[in-house]
Structure 1
Amino acid sequence: MNVILASVIFIVSYLLIMTDKMNRAVIALFGGTLLLLTGIYTTEEVFINYIDWNTIGLLFAMMVLISITEKTGLFTYIAIRFAQKVRGNPIPLLIGASVLTAIGSALLDNVTTVLIFVPIMLKITKLLNLPSFPYLLAIIFSSNIGGTATLIGDPPNIMIGQAVEHFNFLSFLIHLAPLALIIFLAMIFTIVFLFKNKLQKNKTNEQELLHIDASTYLRKTPMLYKSVCVLGLTITGFLFHSFLHIELTAIALAGAVLLLLLTEKEVSTEHIFEKVEWVTLFFFIGLFTLVGGLQEVGIIDELARAIIVSTDGDFSKTAILILWVSGIFSGVVDNIPFVAAMIPVIQEFQSYGMVYLDPIWWSLALGACLGGNATLIGASANVVVAGLAEGAKERIPFIRFLLYGIPFVLFSLLISTIYIIFRYLIPYAGQAL
């Protein structure tokens, strides 16, 4: 009975989120509350086992940092200077934004990158009177592709890196970065081709842009220097967190609290908290609660175990099936709980006679990270971008994103399949013979 209840509540909530008729956070929280009322799990179990407070804390901290820094005019200054560098040309602007997002997502993490970069891009598109959707679409795709390339880029990679002792930062770079680069280039070409007619240069806007003195938007007060220093320290902490043995969330919270203390006399804490995207944070909480219901009744675990049964323990079939199942499933729910359920299952594969599990781990990483591009709730970065866009009155329609996301994910999984076959499975089959 609980399995049916959890499934129905999740499916109905998901369909309502897709319609865009009601606030996403309200629907997700309502679905999660229904699960609590049905007794599928307790409030304590939800708060301890299923809501990822590390993600919530990281998002909150970065929103505080960005809100304070935005008060200095720094992001507006960067937006104008970036747009002036490409002379307001929409296509180079899109390519540049995609490259910066992908690099940032690989070196930091994709959630932090979009929190920093989306407000800048929204300012540029408004300034140049350009449609924001192509740029936001490119940023979401780039963030998930870039996050695929490294150990710290996407939460599933961090989880896999912690589960496999011989995996390190270089391992992910060597095995996943080449494929991420191929998919990224294909993505850039496709988006430029699809939206080139809408991304036309406006001579009037260009002249207005070039005559703007960007420095007038920069408030050179002590708060500017404090914000830049603390934001720089925080990002540096992200880069070296594995060497410092400090969690990303702890670094982000430390940076946010430090900046609040340093700027308390210049901007009130109450005002900064008003700027936090609370709707996005509560949507995450609701989403974690909904997916937690599927975990509690064993649906995700059974799906993971069914993979082994369906492939009869065949090494090659298992690797490819995990790629596609994780890719498709991660487009429907957040990829974090799915990867959490899959890790112990893959670790048990050795009892089925599978000694060399690396290709299976890479299949899981690729599917979970790239599959997140399918829908607006498929990855944490997607939800954050949607929340920031909605806050700027540039709402991304769920169905419209779906029409681009699903084909792109199918293409990404197809390319990943070819990559896994030729890089891992064929060489392994030759060694086995």
Structure 2
Amino acid sequence: MTEMLAPILAIAIFAVAFFFIATEKFNRVAVVLVAGGLMAAIGLTNAENIFYSHHAGIDWGVIFLLLGMMVIVGIIKQTGIFEALGIWAAQKSKGKPYRLLVLLMVITAVASPFLDNVTTIMLVAPVTLSVCRRLDIPAAPYLIAEVLASNIGGAATLIGDPPNIIIASRANLTFMDFIYHMTPIVIVMFVLFVLMARFMFRKSFVYHPERVNLVMEMDASAPIRDKKLLYRCLGVLLLVMIAFSVHHVFHMDPAIVALLGAGVMVMVAGVRTSEYLAEVEWATLVFFMGLFVMVGSLVHTGVIEHIGSWAINAVGDNYFAAATSLVFGSAILGAFFDNIPYAATMAPIVEGLAAGAPDPATGQSLWWAFALGADLGGNGTALAASANVVMLGIAARANEPISFWKFTKYGIVTTIVTTIVAWIYVWLRYFVWV
């Protein structure tokens, strides 16, 4: 196959697969398996890339992180804690839809910078489903708002969003660098998003006074069936959360933390294998594998690198234009390609551009522009970030299906507004107030 034909075929297959996923004409797992298999069969990628390449294959770190956390959440679910938290949230908000939405969004956004956003969604989504069922209200707007808040909040720290970990490793940035440069604007964007949510989801807000009265009379601790099991599980979960927060100090991959935590949780809880494996979202894991193969083919054929190189070459020595290109370009591309492989592919290009900057501060500004664009682009479509896909899987399993377009119509608006705010921040902080 010629070097010119391979990228064209890769783009064509990816576009067709994306169309079928977006229109939901076929099962999304079947679509990515057929598309990924076809790309491998015609030589757009190969077995070595699929199984062993860090940049152009399946990201096993993401797969095993998800598997470990699914086991942990599945065991904790059996304690009844999610139902108890759902009652507590309903009582604190007094069943008022927007007040409940804000409460759940704040919980999600506060947790996301310290956990990865996939873990946060896996912990918050069951609580959301429980409270929505108690109040007899649709869960979809609350789940969508949470995952959008998670992607925004996760941008605040080095460990909150996977692209940040990749960027920090390539640019030698520390945890405190992210706190200093990213956290201020993330707080601003989250407050703005809370205000936007009042209008974006207003048609979905439902209030049933009779259901609220019933919930207000309930004992929030009643659903907890085994307090000893709950205490043991929460102890393990606390250790897992601490390990996530300091994993970079001990050079331990988050996936290893999740798998160790899952193993300890199984031993401490003493539950049967069939019980906790039944809670694993196998369809979601397989979907991720197929999606990684598809994106890996675009990486292997040079599609993503050529797009990034073209954008950067187009701006020349104008570093503000380069920063602008990275903010908006990353947000746009990140909305259509999972932002983990995208960040891994673009990082060397940004490194080269930053190395040629006239001073270190200007060079570093490009990294922050890149991080903001990649993180915020994760809200662009239902497939743009791992947390989005996980949330869709949880919703479908709970018989609260959320379509590609239902998520995306909110995600696009959020991405456009937050990306513009991020660009203004980059302009002011790194090119005006210098």
How far apart, CA to CA, are the structure 1 residues paired with 2:257 and 2:212?
A: 40
1:88 matched to 2:92? The reply is no
Alignment of 1:29-108 (within 5 A): 29-49=33-53, 50-108=57-115
1:221-370 paired onto structure 2 within 5 Å: 221-264=227-270, 267-349=271-353, 352-356=356-360, 357-370=363-376
Distance in 2 between residues matched to 1:416 and 1:186, nearest whole Å: 12
Query: 1:266-297, CA deviations, whole angstroms, 9 ceiling, x for partnerless residues?
Result: x2112211220011111111111100010010
- 1:304 and 1:409 mapped to 2: Cα distance? 20
User: C-alpha distance in 2, partners of 1:409/1:21?
Assistant: 26
Contact 1:389-1:396 within 8 A present in 2 as well: yes
| Secondary structure in 1 matching 2:384 | coil
Paired with 2:354 and 2:195, the residues of 1 have a C-alpha distance of: 41
Q: CA deviation at 1:189?
A: 1.0
TM-score computed with the length of structure 1 as normaliser = 0.95
Verify the 8 A CA contact 1:28 1:287 in the aligned structure 2: yes
Check the 8 A contact 2:354/2:366 in 1, yes or no: no
CA contact (8 A) 1:125 1:131 kept: yes
Distance 1:112 1:398 in 2: 21
CA contact (8 A) 2:156 2:186 kept: yes
Structure 2 equivalent of residue 109 of structure 1: 116
* 1:74 Cα offset (Å): 1.1
How far, CA to CA, are the matches of 2:277 and 2:216 in structure 1? Answer: 35
Quote the offset at 1:5 in angstroms.
1.5
For the 8 Å contact 1:134–1:191, the answer to whether it is kept is no
Residue in structure 1 matching 2:20, options 16, 19, 23: 16
Q: Secondary structure at the match of 1:106?
A: coil
Structure 2: distance between partners of 1:353 and 1:211: 63
Gaps of 5+ in 2: none
d(CA) in 2 for partners of 1:34, 1:284: 16
C-alpha contact (below 8 Å) 1:315/1:354 kept by paired residues: no
Deviation per residue, 1:12-54 (Å, 9 max, x gap): 0000000123221221111101111112222232011111111
How far residue 129 of structure 1 moved from its aligned partner, in angstroms, is 1.1
Which residue of 202, 213, 236 maps to 1:196?
Answer: 202
CA distance in structure 2 between the partners assigned to 1:3 and 1:160 by the alignment: 26
Distance 1:214 1:316, change over 3 A: same
| Contact kept in structure 1, 2:141 and 2:204, CA below 8 Å | no
Cα displacement (A) at 1:124: 0.7
Measure, in 1, the Cα distance between the counterparts of 2:353 and 2:49: 29
Q: Tell me the residue number matched to 1:151.
A: 158
Specify the SS of the correspondent of 2:278. Answer: helix
**Whole-Å separation in 1 of the counterparts to 2:239 and 2:365:** 36
Cα distance per residue 1:310-342 (max 9 Å; x no partner): 112321111111111100000001011111111
The residue aligned with 2:130 is 123
Distance (Å, rounded) in 2 between the aligned partners of 1:198 and 1:75: 23
Per-residue deviation, residues 338-381 of structure 1 (Å, max 9, x unmatched): 11111111221256454431110001000000011110011111
| Structure 2 contact 96–207 (Cα < 8 Å) conserved | yes
Match of 2:407 in 1: 401
8 Å contact kept, 2:83–2:130: yes
Please, which of 217, 230, 234 is the counterpart of residue 223 of structure 2? 217
Secondary structure, counterpart of 1:332 in structure 2? coil
Residue 245 of structure 1, CA deviation:
2.9
Cα distance change on mapping 1:83 and 1:321 into 2, 3 Å: same
Describe the superposition over 1:124-162 as per-residue Cα deviations: whole angstroms up to 9, x where unpaired. Answer: 111101121221121011000001111110000111111
Q: Deviations over 1:228-274 (max 9, x none)?
A: 1111111111122223332211111101011112333xx21122112
Report the counterpart of residue 26 of structure 1 in structure 2. 30
Residue 363 of structure 1 aligns to which amino acid in structure 2?
A: A
* Matched position secondary structure for 2:152: helix
Give the secondary-structure state (helix, strand or coil) at the position aligned to 1:270.
helix
Instruction: Output the TM-score relative to the length of structure 2.
Output: 0.95
User: Quick check: 1:138–1:191 contact (8 Å CA) kept in 2?
Assistant: yes
Which one-letter code corresponds to 1:158 in the other structure? I
Partners of 2:84 and 2:355 in 1: how far apart?
A: 58
In terms of mean alpha carbon deviation, does 196-205 or 363-372 score higher? Answer: 196-205
Q: Which amino acid aligns with 1:72?
A: T
Q: What is the one-letter code of the residue matched to 1:161?
A: A
Identity of aligned residues (%): 36
CA distance in 2, matches of 1:83, 1:353: 52
Q: Distance in 2 between matches of 1:272 and 1:351?
A: 49
The AA in structure 2 aligned to 1:191 is A
Alignment of 1:389-428 (within 5 A): 389-428=395-434
Letter in 1 for 2:163: P
Equivalent residue letter for 1:317: A
Contact 1:13 1:28 in 2 (8 A): yes
CA contact (8 A) 1:234 1:255 kept: yes
> 197-206 or 409-418: which moved more?
197-206
Alpha-carbon separation, structure 2, partners of 1:313 and 1:341: 22
